[in-house]
A and B are shown apart, each in its own frame.
Chain A
Amino acid sequence: MSVELSPMILAIFLPLFGAIAAFIAPRAAWSIGLATLAATTGAVIWLARDVWAKGAVMLPLGGWGAPLGIDLRADGLSVAMLALTSAVGFLVSIAALDSLKDAARQRQYFWPLWLLLLTGMNGVYLSTDLFNLYVMIEVIALAAVGLTVLNGTRDALRAGLEYMYASILGALLFLMGVGFVYLHLGRLDFAGLAGAEVSGSLIAAMALMFVGLALKIALFPLHFWLPAAHANATAPASALLSGLVVKAALYIVLRLAQYMPFPSETLLTLVGLMGAGAVIWGGIQALRAERLKLLVAWSTVAQIGLIFVAFARAGEMGLTESWKAAALLILAHGVAKAAMFLAAGRIKDEIGHDVIRDLDRAPIRPTLAQFTFALAAISLIGLPPSLGFIGKWSLMEGAMAAGYWHWVAVTMAGTLLSVAYFSRVLTAFLRFDRVRAPVGEHQGWALADAAPLTLALAAIGLGLMAAPLLSFIEIGYPFGVAQ
């Protein structure tokens, strides 16, 4: 039994060891953290090259092999998610260096928690069996709750506890589903799922797992915990939670849809309707939000809804293509939302508050952070040429071609709502007649703006690279192997 050094193993275990090291040596935590991230990013690049050259790669851990042992597998989609996680994570880490510089206690715990979170997410993207996924989402949940309550404020603790309940319950629902699957099939690996016949208990299992994941994703109407948790966390934590954490559970939904025979058209429509509800309700709440970070958090609820609309856009028959639209939107949202939360944090730091109504009274205008916020908003609204636009384009294209005009209408309504709520913020940036003191427009430029700005520019620029991105995601034909 030879131990082969594989980038997949590195991607999971580097952050794990990093987390432990950062916990043991809090003074060096930040350097350990950055080094670990750089190394993990290197491993992901290595893996990407492998996948690019050879197609999907498989690794039986310890040489046991499925169904008994644990397999790791990487295809285009999982590498894309890994790349999203490490790239966004790396930039958020750099931003965190600055934004946590005056908070020693937060800094001490940020790095171990974040590296643990990274372990869990990378584990999800490489797992090939349901139980492994369960363990990983629990790891993610614990680390994510830790990040939510990092700043120790009462609001953050309350929101974090609420998040904890939802997250654990979601994981347990998922576990229940896993139990049903095992009862029915006697195995939990994806390959075993792929060959299964549709049956009542399998549908029940699927439903349980989906509801559990929906709780973790905060899909309407199970979104109740998200706005408070994401809005009250400290800015880099919010960026990680909103940009990356919800994506892990979303990814599992995509995977399940790939390997488990999808029950029926009606259920898919139901999923789409939940998404549509999220788009509308999230939009309305964002319009009413009084604080900047709360608005951004509600926009996450709406955007998650849009991803599910993309998933359901062309019905059961269109699922073999629809997942790509959903994947594009997942990537777009991950990058843009991380940028937006970091920018919102910068604005709050510079101005001293984030009450939307009073943003235009501030004599200090952190121009670069505001610009970053605007760029991120462009991608989230889905204006060209951003990646968000390309995702929306694919969504509407598929829906239109399949004649599902209601999904087109939902998308357009969501776009208008997002324009409405983001312009509440953007116009405040450009208004000057309510300021009493002389305005220093160029105040508040800082190196800390570099990371969010890079993310926001990436969200815009990646749209023009959607064709290679799509062909990469399709490597390993995630939706072709089922049968």
Chain B
Amino acid sequence: MTDAPLLPLFILLTSLLASPVLFALPERAARLRTAINLGMAGVKLALVAWLSLKVAQGVIYDLRFEVLPGLEFKLQADPLAILFIALSAVLWLITTVYSVGYLEHGPHRARFFGFFSLCVAATVGIAMSGNLFTFLLFYELLTLATYPLVIHRGNAEALRAGRIYLIYTLAGGLVLLLGTLGLWVLAGTTDFVPGGVLADVVAQNPRAAQALFVVLIGALGVKAALVPFHAWLPIAMVAPAPVSALLHAVAVVKAGAFGIMRVVYEVFGIETAQALGVTAPLAMLAAVTILYGSLRAITQDDIKKRLAYSTVSQVSYITLGVALASPIAAVGALAHLIHQGLMKITMFMAAGNLAEGLGVKRVSQMDGVGRAMPGTMLAFTLAALAMIGLPPLAGFVSKWYLAQGGLAAGQAWVIALLLGSSLLNAIYFLPMLHRAWFRDAAPEGAGAPGRPRIGWMLAAPPVTTAVLVLVAGGFANAPFSPLEWTRFIVAIEYQE
């Protein structure tokens, strides 16, 4: 049926096998480490490109083996998985370059890159999980792999943040275990199937199905930072900039959002979920999170915290699009999975550059930084404008589809929500841009002139992702653009 049936496994192994090698490398073998990192990231990108082509041609990948009687470890490469893998492959490469530059002389690099690879492997595993059981395995692996990254600095503050992070995510993982078991006991399978596997259960025992939905969404909502489970995210900002970038753009919050997608579309099935009456409350929860995150972002002076609250808000667009139960909104949600990743990673890397090059960590110190670091700030500005939803940038495309979807689903309040949210986005992003470009640097402030010293490995990545933001928005209708791929997926999930 296919010429390389193990392709998904190889993609998983590129980063999974890189990890122990990176752990074992001595601290001083920096060149070799970088070579392995970039080499593996490059190989993976190529494999993912190959896999995407194959999947677009209709090849089906399905690897499985039995772990317990009837219970399988299952990897599959469906279009939804490809969407997420492609994002992680591209951003892994870019973030690796950035991390190498960022940590150039820092301690514990062997450990850092080992866990970094493991984290990417977990993300890929989450994307390709063919059932909730496999998803759970990688979901927990992700928690374990990110924890040492969050507390990388190894000081009291980092450990405190790490503890909170661990409490939230492991408790979420435990609840997910409960939900997975519940699904297994109720339905006798945990497979992800377009249209869902719970139609019978819902018919016979709607209460149990509702409880299951609450448990699963609650568990995934922890990583997706849905209110009221979001508190760990701003606290986890003590992590080094590349980690924050990865956490916000690809790994942790996205794993949660992606899981919500799988659960709504392929465990319950969108029609069943709607019939069960659980999508509307989910949409409300997402709406509350969107507004709450934005409101909290306004008052944050710490740049990374402001970005973190913005993530809380932005990631919930994805959940909102899923919960609206309209194919058009789903297109917006899926596209936003990619778009938000590109925009947020740009901003975090730019923020990292400000801290590294100029020592600027607070919004109030940002006066005049545009002149000091024009490239970085240009990238930041582009991403911020995209977040606000300026056409034709990437964020606009997602919001447009979400709004259309809201209308199509007869939920006109979504338009108001999106307008309000965009307004709030503008309220917390525009002052940053204003300070950066239109104010003079304070004479002895942190943004004072003097050439900032950042190498190309720090400077290039945010610019690259900013260009991607531009391309993803401007060429949204080109083949293999995120948006086009998204339409392909939605056709499957809505079984059209």
- Distance in angstroms from B170 CB to nearest chain A CB is 5
Interface size in chain A (residues, C-beta < 8 A)? 32
Report if B228 contacts A (CB, 8 A). Answer: no
Chain B residues contacting A400 (CB-CB under 8 Å) are 181-182, 185
* Residues on A with beta carbons closer than 8 Å to the beta carbon of B162: 427, 430
A433 at the interface (CB under 8 A from B): yes
Q: Is the CB of A470 within 8 A of B68?
A: yes
Known contacts A400-B182, A412-B174; A467 and B159 CB within 8 A of each other? no
Stretch touching chain B among A12-20, A189-197, A265-273, A388-396 = A388-396
- Verify B68–A394 contact, CB threshold 8 A: yes
> Helix, strand, loop or mixed for chain A's interface?
helix
Residue of B nearest to A413 (CB): B174
A436 at the interface (CB under 8 A from B): no
The answer to whether A46 has its CB under 8 Å from any CB of chain B is no
From residue 169 to 188 of chain B, which have CB atoms closer than 8 A to chain A?
170-171, 173-174, 177-178, 181-182, 184-185
Distance A93 CA – B445 CA, assembled complex (angstroms): 64
Are B159 and A431 interface neighbours, CB within 8 A? yes
Contact check, B178 vs A419: say whether CB atoms are below 8 A apart: no
Decide yes or no: A467 and B151 within 8 Å by CB, A384-B137, A442-B27 being known contacts: no
Q: Would A430 and B151 count as touching, CB distance under 8 A?
A: yes
Given A383-B144, A430-B159, check contact A397 B181 (CB 8 Å): yes
Q: Which range holds the interface residue count of chain B?
A: 35 or more
Q: Is the CB of B170 within 8 A of A397?
A: no
A408 at the interface (CB under 8 A from B): yes
Contact partner of A441 among B27, B136, B141, B178, CB < 8 A? B27
- A305 to chain B minimum Cβ distance, whole angstroms, is 18
Which residues does chain B contribute within 8 Å of A464, judged by CB atoms?
Answer: 65, 67, 73
Q: Mark A191-206, 1 if CB is under 8 A from B, else 0.
A: 0000000000000000
Within 8 A of A (CB), among B428-479: none
Known A-B contacts A378-B144, A384-B137, A396-B177; the reply to A416 vs B171 at CB < 8 A is yes
Verify A467–B68 contact, CB threshold 8 A: yes
Chain B residues with CB under 8 Å of A442's CB are: 26-27
Q: Which of B136, B140, B154, B181 contacts A396 (CB 8 A)?
A: B181
**In whole Å, how far is B234's beta carbon from the nearest beta carbon of chain A?**
21
B240 at the A interface (CB under 8 A):
no
Q: Roughly how many angstroms separate A431 CA and B182 CA in the complex, as a whole number?
A: 38
Partner of B154, one of A384, A431, A463: A431
Query: Are B69 and A470 interface neighbours, CB within 8 A?
Result: yes
A416/B174 in contact, CB under 8 A: yes
Q: Does B154 contact A433, Cβ atoms closer than 8 Å?
A: yes
Determine the residue in chain A with the shortest Cβ distance to B151: A430
Q: Does B108 contact A (CB under 8 A)?
A: yes
Chain A residues whose CB sits within 8 angstroms of the CB of B185 once the complex forms:
397, 400-401
Say whether A385 faces chain B, with CB atoms less than 8 Å apart.
yes
How close is B295's CB to chain A, nearest CB, in angstroms? Answer: 32
| Interface check B148, CB cutoff 8 A | yes
B298 at the interface (CB under 8 A from A): no
Max count, chain A CB within 10 A of own CB: residue among B137, B144, B174: B174
Q: Mark B40-77, 1 if CB is under 8 A from A, else 0.
A: 00000000000000000000000001111100010000
Q: A400 — nearest CB in chain B belongs to which residue?
A: B185
B181 & A385 in contact (Cβ 8 Å cutoff): no
Chain A residue at smallest Cβ distance from B69: A467
Check B487 for interface membership: any CB of A closer than 8 A: no
Residues of B contacting A471 in the complex (Cβ-Cβ under 8 angstroms): 69
Chain B interface secondary structure, helix, strand, loop or mixed? Answer: helix
Task: Kindly supply a per-residue 1/0 record for chain B positions 176-214, scoring 1 wherever the CB is within 8 Å of any chain A CB and 0 otherwise.
Answer: 011001101100000000000000000000000000000
Contact A408 B151, beta carbon cutoff 8 Å: no
Asked if B181 contacts A433 (CB within 8 A), the reply is: no
A31 at the A/B interface (Cβ < 8 Å)?
no
Closest-by-CB residue of B relative to A464 is B67
Query: B495 on the interface (CB 8 Å rule)?
Result: no
B184 / chain A contacts, CB cutoff of 8 Å? 397
Query: CA A247 – CA B73 in complex, angstroms?
Result: 30
B68 adjacent to A390 (CB under 8 Å): yes
- Residue B4 lies at the interface, judged by CB distance under 8 Å to chain A: no
* Complex CA distance for A415 and B175, rounded to whole angstroms: 11
A384 and B151 within 8 A (CB):
no
Residues of chain A contacted by B36 (CB below 8 angstroms): none
B239 to chain A, nearest CB (A): 13
B-chain residues with CB within 8 Å of residue A384 when the two chains form the complex: 136-137, 140-141
Task: Return chain A residues, CB-CB under 8 Å to B173.
Answer: 383
**In the assembled complex, A153 has its CB within 8 A of some CB on chain B:** no
B2 on the interface (CB 8 Å rule)?
Answer: no
CB-defined contacts of A390 to chain B, threshold 8 Å: 67-68
Task: Report Cα–Cα, A142/B80, bound state, in Å.
Answer: 61
A82 to chain B, nearest CB (A): 23
Known: A383-B140, A396-B177. A433 touches B27 (CB 8 A): no
Interface flag for B371 (CB, 8 Å): no
B137 touches A385 (CB 8 A): yes
B299 at the interface (CB under 8 A from A): no
Q: A441 — which chain B residues lie within 8 A by C-beta?
A: 27, 107-108, 111
- A466 CB-CB contact with B under 8 Å: yes
Task: Decide if B280 is an interface residue (CB 8 Å cutoff).
Answer: no
Which residues of chain B are within 8 angstroms of A396 by Cβ–Cβ distance?
177-178, 181
Please name all residues of chain B whose beta carbon is closer than 8 Å to the beta carbon of A419 when the two chains form the complex: 166, 170
Give the residue name and chain of the A residue nearest to B171 (CB): A416
* Bound Cα distance from A470 to B71, whole angstroms: 13
Q: Mark B344-358, 1 if CB is under 8 A from A, else 0.
A: 000000000000000
By beta carbon, the residue of chain B nearest A463 is B67
B163 interfacial contact with A, CB 8 Å = yes
The answer to whether A423 touches B163, judged by C-beta atoms less than 8 angstroms apart, is yes
CA distance A432 to B157 in the complex (A): 12
Q: Taking A400-B185, A467-B69 as contacts, is the C-beta distance between A433 and B155 under 8 angstroms?
A: yes
Assembled-state Cα–Cα distance A396/B155 (Å): 38
**Chain B residue contacts of A408, Cβ below 8 A:** 178
Contact: B166 with A433, CB < 8 Å? no
Is B1 engaged at the interface, CB distance under 8 Å to the other chain? no
**What 1/0 flags go to A407-436 for Cβ under 8 Å of B?**
010001001100100010001001111000
Report whether A433 and B156 are in contact in the complex, using a CB–CB cutoff of 8 Å.
yes
Name the residue among A378, A412, A415, A431 with the largest chain B CB count within 10 angstroms: A431
Residue numbers of A with Cβ under 8 A of B are 371, 378, 383-385, 390, 393-394, 396-397, 400-401, 408, 412, 415-416, 419, 423, 427, 430-433, 439, 441-442, 463-464, 466-467, 470-471
Task: Sort A-B residue pairs by CB-CB distance and give the 8 closest, nearest first.
Answer: A432-B154, A433-B155, A384-B137, A467-B66, A400-B185, A401-B185, A383-B140, A385-B137
Other than A416-B174, A430-B162, A431-B155, give 5 A-B pairs with Cβ distance below 8 A: A401-B185, A427-B159, A430-B159, A439-B107, A441-B108
Chain B interface (Cβ < 8 Å from any Cβ of A): 23, 26-27, 65-69, 73, 107-108, 111, 136-137, 140-141, 144, 148, 151, 154-156, 159, 162-163, 166, 170-171, 173-174, 177-178, 181-182, 184-185
What are 29 residue pairs bridging A and B, where the CB atoms are less than 8 Å apart in the complex? Answer: A378-B144, A383-B144, A383-B173, A385-B67, A385-B137, A393-B177, A396-B177, A397-B181, A397-B184, A400-B182, A416-B174, A423-B163, A427-B159, A427-B163, A430-B151, A431-B154, A431-B155, A431-B159, A432-B107, A432-B154, A441-B27, A442-B26, A464-B67, A464-B73, A466-B67, A467-B66, A467-B67, A467-B68, A470-B68
